[in-house]
Amino acid sequence: MSSAKQIVASLKSHVQGDEEQFLSIALQVAAAEARLGHAEMANDLKRLVQKARDRKPVSQGAQTPIPLARPKGELQGLVEAGYPNTKLADMVLAAAIRNRLKRLLARSISSTNSTRSAPAAATRTTSARCVAS
């Protein structure tokens, strides 16, 4: 891969928030530098990649959540998300489920330091659906 293509690919992965792909491209650049005889540059790149991976340990099975309203990477082409206009008051629910949802929303609102008003936050929900490719 030429260096221009590597720059484009690394920028795309950065914009998409795909840090692992970004670091993989950096390692490809390091390998190319090593093949050209630039051992010091290759070692510097490898060290920086390792430092980046060490600062953000990925525990097995646990990854940072991706907000459904703004999917990134591969998820961007698979999931379409939006905010429906349906309010909790407009839903037909059993009393027990309605009460559980109200408690859940109240807890969620109280735990966030949002600038939105509580009534607006209580009525806003997110829906997501898969988009066939």
- Asked if residues 76 and 16 have their Cβ atoms less than 8 Å apart, the reply is yes
Average pLDDT in the 118-122 region?
Answer: 47
Distances (CA, A) of 7 to 25, 45, 89, 120: 9, 14, 51, 43
31: CB partners within 8 A, 6+ apart: 42
**111, pLDDT greater than 80:** no
Per-residue pLDDT at 88? 83
Q: What is the pTM of this model?
A: 0.43
Q: Among 8-22, 44-58, 117-131, which stretch is predicted with the lowest mean pLDDT?
A: 117-131
